[in-house]
A and B are shown apart, each in its own frame.
Chain A
Amino acid sequence: MSEVLRRLPAALAVLVAAALPFLLDDFWLQTGLFTMAAVVGAIGLTLLVGVAGQLSLGHACFAALGAYTYAWAVGESGGRAAGLGLPPLLALVLAGVVAAVAGALFSPISGRLRGIYLGLATIGLVFLARHLMVNLEDATGGFNGRTVEPFSVPGFSFSNEDPDYLAVAGVEFEGLHRLWYLFLVVVLLAAWLGRNIKASRTGRALANVRDSETAAAAMGIHVARAKATAFVISSAYAGIAGALMALAYGRIAPDLFGLQLSIDFLIMIVLGGLGSIAGAAAGAAFVVILPLVLTQYSSDLPFLATPGSGGLDAATLARLLYGAAIIAVLLFLRGGLAGATGRLRHRRAPHPADTDDPPPAPPPPSPAPPGAATPAPSHPGVPTRSKETSP
């Protein structure tokens, strides 16, 4: 019974997400697509940062790799920028694979550096990626970027054509509606996979490495390989997220994949609560939606000035709120949004069984291995004590 209750919020969220295209206008649909693309990337990053304790500011690099791989693989070979003309589904998988391979190539560094040291080293990747994006004009279209072919499976296109007219329950399903469901499926797959990785042998090994590398090594975990694995997994997620971003934008350019994107991904998972899949989704929604909504509805807010007049315009207000929200969460909410909802839930109905994880995830399925000298996979909100564990 409690199992059903615990899964209820997630199931409700999925139902609502599936129903939304019947109600929303194009602006909100577009916003939703951006959000879902970001959710996939944020889940990947939270596996790396929250579970394995490795910081990365290179997420934008792998997102860019995924986006351009997708655009390049589905692009017509005769177009202005080169392409392979592959089927889109294959290209989507390829986007993840190429990003994962790139992540694996970085393993001499990602396996050896720890925590924020890795975070600093990965900043370099963003600038390298930008250099490649601008200079490999044949594949990337250079500074101006390239257009992205719409997604399709044989006989059905996720655009406004083929079939030209499609209506469900009286609502015409255009490209945005169709893409919504594609994105939703990818997000659910990503979340399901992410949760399983977290609860699996690999995930527990990663959490062990985060809590103490020495203890992990003593338990027989190959620390460098575990850290490199986490980096590869998160790179693959970023690659898929990049491909989704490419689909949502319809046109990609180097400026989309700057350091700011990496920073935004990091902020999403910290706001949501490190290590929590649902938290990553909530953080992604907040980070993506806030500036878009403020810009869209700024004319309705009387105290805002027009852009460029030196007063407080919508974009500035969005940035200020964004910065203030980050600071407020870090100062007052231990464990981010997920940690806060978890505490709220505990206050209402004390449940000794699920002290271990943020709400939507079930408790780890298997008990701790016998001879439990391992530090238990700790709640992300609990600071670790011993010296060598700080990331």
Chain B
Amino acid sequence: MSYFLTQLANGLSYGLILGLIAVGFVIVFTSTGVLNFAHGSVLLTGAYLVAVLQGPVGFWAAVVVGIAGAALLGVLINAVLVRNLAEANPGTAAILMLGVDILLLTELTRRIGNRVLPIGAPWGADVVAIGGVTLPTSRAIAAGLAVVVFGLLWFLFARTGTGVAMRAAAADGDTASLMGIRLSRTGAAGWALAGALAAIAGVFLASFPAPGVGPALAISAFAAIPAWVLGGFDSVVGAIVGGLIIGVVTALAVGYESHLHFLGRGLGEVVPYAVMILVLLVRPSGLFGRAEAVRV
């Protein structure tokens, strides 16, 4: 039983980190209509900045720089590239982000090389144990912080002018624009927010039990894509729930792999996508997504 609870706790905390990444996908998508394939490299950029700077300036200052750097990178990508597309539609924007991803990832891979950079977090490799359930301290902190961040996001979107403007722009850009909302600003805010969330997730994904910052960290953002898709493409709540589902399912599939041997090795990598496809078969627009309404 405690083994099951341990796996469950691991899955939930991992799922909350995935939720941070998936919410970034949602916000970029709703604020600028871009399927951000470069999200993984933005995440890696943030984590890389933290890992490089934590020696000279200390961990916490490095985290601030990493978050700001990732947010700034997102804003720049949007301002310099996305807004200057020759034909602005979701398809070409997605391919553009693939190009950006190639550039960023190649350069970061060249800088990192074969090394794995330690993230230097003060919680190190500690483990907390409560009533037989053990959880890495980094994951416990990540889960708590993610909940706080989601609370702040709710406050932002429900109670502040900026957040309401962003929601209005997402719901109907043309009308929002006519109402005096500057889409360039809501778009920039969306990209900055997504970059910051990605950097936070990156710090925790690079902490114990992971060894540190390596190029493979960028791939981990891909693990949030099933979470985003099965939650619904344009729902922040859906992204969080999707992250939790994917996190728990992945943790259980890995934890009980020896019992599931008939499904083959490496189950943890494929289970998120299998769950996503199953959900889409039943609900094509995801759990929380709006079915597209068409006006004629």
Contact = CB atoms under 8 A, between A and B. Distances in A.
Q: Do A and B bind each other?
A: yes
Interface of A: 49, 53, 55, 108-109, 112-117, 119-121, 123-125, 127-128, 130-132, 134-135, 213-214, 259, 263, 266-267, 270, 274, 308, 310, 312, 316, 319-320, 322-327, 330-335, 381, 383-384, 387-388, 390-391
A124 B90 contact: no
Nearest to B102: A323
Contact of B229 (A121, A259, A312, A333): A121
Contact of A55 (B94, B277, B284): B94
Interface string B199-221: 00000000000000000000000
B126 interface: no
A293 B60 CA distance: 45
Interface string B78-100: 00010011111111101110111
Given A213-B294, A331-B84, A390-B90, A123 B273 contact: yes
A128 B87 contact: no
Contacts of A109: 277, 280-281, 284
Given A124-B226, A323-B100, A327-B100, A391 B269 contact: no
Given A121-B277, A127-B270, A320 B106 contact: yes
B91 A319 contact: no
Contacts, number: 144
Interface of B: 33, 35, 81, 84-92, 94-96, 98-103, 106-107, 109-110, 113-114, 222, 225-226, 228-229, 233, 264-267, 269-270, 273-274, 276-277, 280-281, 284-285, 292, 294-296
Contacts of A114: 292
B283 to A, nearest CB: 10
Nearest to A135: B264
B83 to A, nearest CB: 10
29 contacts: A109-B280, A113-B284, A115-B90, A116-B94, A117-B233, A117-B285, A120-B225, A120-B229, A123-B273, A125-B277, A127-B269, A128-B274, A128-B277, A131-B264, A131-B266, A135-B266, A267-B95, A319-B102, A323-B101, A327-B96, A330-B86, A330-B96, A330-B99, A333-B86, A383-B87, A388-B294, A388-B295, A391-B89, A391-B90
A137 to B, nearest CB: 10
B280 A121 contact: yes
Contacts of A333: 86
A128 B95 contact: no
Please classify the interface of chain A as helix (H, G, I), strand (E, B), loop, or mixed, using the class held by over half of its residues. helix
Report which residue of B33, B87, B106, B276 has the largest number of chain A beta carbons within 10 angstroms of its beta carbon: B87
Given A120-B35, A330-B85, A383-B87, A322 B102 contact: yes
A381 B266 CA distance: 43
Given A123-B273, A323-B102, 14 more contacts: A109-B277, A109-B284, A113-B284, A116-B94, A120-B233, A128-B274, A131-B266, A310-B113, A323-B106, A327-B99, A327-B103, A330-B85, A330-B95, A331-B96
Contacts of A325: 99
A109 B35 CA distance: 19
Given A109-B281, A112-B284, A116-B35, A214 B89 contact: no
Contacts of A324: 99, 103
Contact of A383 (B89, B229, B280, B281): B89
A373 B122 CA distance: 67
Given A109-B277, A388-B294, A327 B81 contact: yes
Contacts of A115: 90-91
B81 A116 contact: no
Contacts of A123: 222, 225-226, 273
B276 A330 contact: no
Nearest to A136: B264
Contacts of A266: 95, 98
Given A128-B274, A323-B100, A116 B91 contact: yes
Contacts of A316: 106, 109-110
Contacts of A135: 264-266
Contacts of B88: 383
B182 to A, nearest CB: 21
